[in-house]
Structure 1
Amino acid sequence: MGTPNLVTLADFRAAQERIRGIAVHTPLVRYSADIWLKAEGLQPIGSFKLRGAYNSIAQLHPEAKSRGVITYSSGNHAQGVAYAARSLGMKAVIVMPSNAPQIKQQATAALGAEIVRVGPASSERKQRAEELAAAHGYTIIPPYDDPAIIAGQGTCGLEILEDLPDVDLVLSPVSGGGLLSGIAAAIKSVRPEVRVIGIEPELAADAQASFRAGNLVHWPAELTTRTICDGLRTQSLGNLNFEHIRAYVDDILTVSEKEIKRAMRELLFSARLTPEPSGAVTTAALLYHREQLLPFRKAVAVMSGGNVEPSVLQQVLQDTDIG
């Protein structure tokens, strides 16, 4: 595991110091006798993405800071970059897909970022961001395929170990792989025996396909956009993220749309937490795929965010088909 590209424990510890006072050390909420929830929806922007964004932007050279930053995101990373840039007194430009939830577009604009809208494919927004960066000298802050982003997201894993030292199973959502790769690398660097498993929707299961095949598998946007999980629609894992996942992650499992919606209800009514669909996949796995995850004594499900569109929440609460 001593691959030169992989983020080290020293990188995670440095990121933890850097983001202190900006990102919150979120609580572990006890859900049952053997399940805890890492409530990342309690971050100032409502998701874990602030960790990586701030860790990356804070390290920029002063000259780069003066020109500003740009990113491409469906919502939570957008808010992370906007919040981090504002806290550092910098300009932020965000390329967002036209189908991003209104609540995420509005929240990003409220943080003072300039928004540029493109079509729904993740490849499209990356291309536009690169064009604008070349034209204006902005620094691109990628959403996941970057060592500083991975180091920032991994601080979530260090906090889990601090708050529940005898944890033996950690579940993380997976999309581009920033959170999963960071959490897995950070946790395994300290406690290699802890199992770390990625969870994604079966309608956007490119990460599981990649993990099983041993090479990156891409899913087209028309497939990944079918899931209710707007934060997990990335078409493939990042290259660097995949390296970390292959080195540190034990497995990747999938959950159905019905299970995700049922888990959202559970989190609302039983845990008193408001999850976005992407944040509920880990709870769905523990509730409905427990036998695939055994044995464990103390499990943590990372609830990655709480920025749910009100209309989506209403639909989930009123849906009589999900049981």
Structure 2
Amino acid sequence: MATKSVPQGSGALPVTIDDVNAARERIGDAIVETPTLRSLTLSNLTGADVWLKFENLQFTAAYKERGALNTLLQLDQEARAKGVIAASAGNHAQGLAYHATRLGIPSTIVMPKNTPIVKVTQTEGHGATVILEGETYDAAYAHSRELEAEKGYTFVHPFDDPRVIAGQGTVALEMLAAVPNLDTLIVPLGGGGLISGMSVAAKAIKPGIEVIGVEAELFPSMYNRVHHTEMPCGGDTLAEGIAVKEPGKITSKFVEALVDDIVLVGERKLEEAVSLLLQIEKTVVEGAGAAGLAAMLSEPERFRGKKIGTVLCGGNIDTRLLANVLLRDLARSGRLARLRIRLQDRPGALYHVARIFHEQGVNIIEVYHQRVFTSLPAKGLITDIECETRDRNHLDRLMTALRRAQYEVRQVELA
């Protein structure tokens, strides 16, 4: 398949490889040059040669620092004195706040009122003034632009700014310096800042390289823009970092010119990818950060045999959400299960069931009895038993043993 290349002449894009190289010189001393490492286990699992760029190891745990810092360093003294402003409840807020404070530049971040308190306190902890305004990102964004005009702040866009795009492109410089013979880059895609900068750099260094964007199925905004489709954008996605309803106007030009394809991934594959990265690589990533691996899991035939670099773009995931993802993965693999068993309401009923669990070497975690809210006769009851098994085969043996003992049993399935 022929790959897209950097346009020349009057149709040239507003960021070039020279801009990305200049950004690297500017930000190099203050940004972690995160490792690009091969994953032997994920390579064996996917059939591709998988290389991971650990951007979750930046100080604020995301690549967003690069573009934010590149922008801050290009402000004149007057702009620095007045300060910067952004609308963000995510990684951009923390990256901008951290580097602005480090440089002595006042920063203001506008967030929706429903932003989780942990994100507010983290951003304030990096030295920013946080303003809660509106119920949606759009309302927070509108207020930030009003404050920009009123106070003379410099607005720093999370993705639709050439300075930000150039900064994000430094990710590709580091990846190709570490592994020059990569033939495919798989890049999480939301607003498009990361993939825009990376595609400019990668295509200039290695014109034949393939660049693939990954969006959540629930938010196919850039896919719609490029393919002229009208799939709905909305819903609760694990990949909130790429949950963008409207892609950037500038970044859309880069994607149309340079990105070879966009893959859409479902929530189950995102959950599986987050879990695998923690179990195999012992690294915590947010849903967006796992999107590249999710794409490889979703379309293994497409990527088999290729030398692939993908970006673990961020590691800021709520710990309770991460726990849910891991437990759901255990449930899907059969290692954690809830079995619904029909019993007769008589002495010893639960004992006899528990004995079968013991005989099969299955650990009981929780037991839930239901006598009242059931359609069974008054002498019947439903018991839900949460249990821990070694694997799917072990669970199947348990259920077979229960049925042989004349119990009516079924597994309570996840969505």
Name the TM tier (shorter chain). Answer: over 0.9
* C-alpha separation in 2, matches of 1:313 and 1:276: 8
Q: Which residue of 1 aligns with 2:266?
A: 256
Note if contact 1:16-1:155 (Cα within 8 Å) is conserved in structure 2: yes
Q: Which residue of 2 aligns with 1:202?
A: 217
Gaps of 5+ in 2: 1-6, 44-48, 334-415
Q: Which residue of 1 aligns with 2:195?
A: 180
* C-alpha separation in 2, matches of 1:235 and 1:22: 32
With over 3 angstroms needed to count, the CA separation of the structure-2 counterparts of 1:101 and 1:269, relative to structure 1, is farther
Note if contact 1:41-1:303 (Cα within 8 Å) is conserved in structure 2: yes
Note if contact 2:106-2:128 (Cα within 8 Å) is conserved in structure 1: yes
* C-alpha separation in 2, matches of 1:224 and 1:56: 30
Task: Choose the corresponding residue for 1:308, options 317, 330, 340.
Answer: 317
- 1:131-150 equivalences in 2 (<5 Å): 131-150=146-165
Gaps of 5+ in 1: none
* C-alpha separation in 2, matches of 1:226 and 1:242: 24
Q: Secondary structure of 1:300's match?
A: strand
* 1:135-179 CA distance string (max 9 Å, x none): 111100011000000000000011111000000011110110000
- 1:70-149 equivalences in 2 (<5 Å): 70-149=85-164
* C-alpha separation in 2, matches of 1:85 and 1:259: 36
TM-score (normalised: structure 2): 0.73
Q: Secondary structure of 2:208's match?
A: coil
Q: Which residue of 2 aligns with 1:49?
A: 64
Does residue 227 of the first structure (1) align with residue 237 of the second (2)?
Answer: yes
More displaced, 92-101 or 302-311? 92-101
Higher relative contact order (CA 8 A, sep 6+): 1
Q: Secondary structure of 1:203's match?
A: coil
> Aligned-pair distance for 1:119?
3.7
Equivalent AA in structure 2 for residue 266 of structure 1: L
More displaced, 111-120 or 156-165? 111-120
Does residue 317 of the first structure (1) align with residue 326 of the second (2)?
Answer: yes
Equivalent AA in structure 2 for residue 235 of structure 1: K
* 1:262-287 CA distance string (max 9 Å, x none): 10010001011100111111111112
* C-alpha separation in 1, matches of 2:118 and 2:180: 36
TM-score (normalised: structure 1): 0.94
Note if contact 1:211-1:252 (Cα within 8 Å) is conserved in structure 2: no
Larger radius of gyration: 2
Task: Choose the corresponding residue for 1:289, options 259, 284, 299.
Answer: 299
More displaced, 101-110 or 50-59? 101-110
* 1:98-122 CA distance string (max 9 Å, x none): 3444443222110010111234533
Note if contact 2:111-2:137 (Cα within 8 Å) is conserved in structure 1: no
RMSD of aligned C-alpha atoms? 1.7
Q: Secondary structure of 1:7's match?
A: coil
More displaced, 116-125 or 45-54? 116-125
Shift >6 Å, 4+ stretches: none
* C-alpha separation in 2, matches of 1:225 and 1:22: 36
Percent same amino acid among aligned pairs? Answer: 38
* C-alpha separation in 1, matches of 2:135 and 2:300: 34
Note if contact 1:261-1:322 (Cα within 8 Å) is conserved in structure 2: no
Note if contact 2:101-2:126 (Cα within 8 Å) is conserved in structure 1: yes
Note if contact 1:201-1:254 (Cα within 8 Å) is conserved in structure 2: yes
Does residue 27 of the first structure (1) align with residue 42 of the second (2)?
Answer: no
* C-alpha separation in 1, matches of 2:138 and 2:177: 37
More displaced, 117-126 or 1-10? 117-126
> Aligned-pair distance for 1:225?
4.2
More displaced, 266-275 or 229-238? 229-238
* C-alpha separation in 2, matches of 1:110 and 1:291: 45
With over 3 angstroms needed to count, the CA separation of the structure-2 counterparts of 1:102 and 1:193, relative to structure 1, is farther
* C-alpha separation in 2, matches of 1:105 and 1:291: 42
* C-alpha separation in 2, matches of 1:237 and 1:293: 26
Q: Which residue of 1 aligns with 2:14?
A: 6
Q: Secondary structure of 1:134's match?
A: helix
* C-alpha separation in 1, matches of 2:81 and 2:205: 37
Q: Secondary structure of 1:21's match?
A: helix
* C-alpha separation in 2, matches of 1:275 and 1:151: 24
* C-alpha separation in 2, matches of 1:155 and 1:197: 17
* 1:8-52 CA distance string (max 9 Å, x none): 111000000111111111101221241011110000110000000
More displaced, 109-118 or 98-107? 98-107
